[in-house]
Amino acid sequence: MSTREQNLAVLTGYFDAMAAGGPPAAMPFYHPDVTLEVPGTHPASGTYRGHEGVAAFGATMAALTDRSFRLAPIDLLASDDHVVTIATASATVNGAELSWQRVIVSQVADDMLVHLRFYESDQAAVDELLGGTR
């Protein structure tokens, strides 16, 4: 199996685990030294490190959206260096619903996700929904 195919298998395995068992089932797909970069001005934005950081991000998003946040992958792409997820994200906060595209550019090391960076199609709308400041 090529490096590209191995990297794609990591990403596919991650989404399969999320679908089957949620965040606890997907945590082993994150490298222990993972870094997650979340853009914006909302309370969940920032840089998270390690499994504890990933869990903190998930808990913050769940609290902000009353557990309504969803991420549905559309395309999974891979190279020898990166994996890319193109997805539809959605959430409802205080009756306000929003759906947007999220692109996640990730690096893989030791068959685990080690660095992830989100790109939102409408960052201002995401910030507004999640209580961000301008």
Residue 13: give its domain's CATH number: 3.10.450.50
> Which pTM does this prediction carry?
0.94
> Would residue 89 count as lying in a domain?
yes
Count the domains in the chain: 1
- Residue 49's SS3 state is strand
48 vs 81, more confident: 48
Which stretch of 78-82, 86-90, 92-96, 130-134 has the lowest confidence by average pLDDT?
130-134
> Would residue 30 count as lying in a domain?
yes
> Would residue 66 count as lying in a domain?
yes
> Would residue 134 count as lying in a domain?
no
Q: Are 10 and 93 in contact (CB under 8 A)?
A: no
Domain coverage including residue 28: 3-129
pLDDT value at residue 72: 96
- pLDDT confidence band for 1 (50 / 70 / 90): confident
Residue 95 pLDDT greater than 60, yes or no = yes
% of the chain residues with pLDDT over 70 = 99
Mean pLDDT over 70-89 rounds to 96
Non-local CB neighbours of 127 within 8 Å, separated by 6+ positions: 40, 41, 42, 45, 133, 134
pLDDT value at residue 134: 47
Residue 15 pLDDT greater than 90, yes or no = yes
Residue 133 pLDDT greater than 80, yes or no = no
CA distance linking residue 50 with residue 113, whole number of Å: 11
In the block, residue with structure tokens 């990591």: 10
pLDDT, tens digit (0-9, with 9 covering 90-100), for 36-76: 999 999 999 999 999 999 999 999 999 999 999 999 999 99
> Would residue 52 count as lying in a domain?
yes
> Would residue 22 count as lying in a domain?
yes
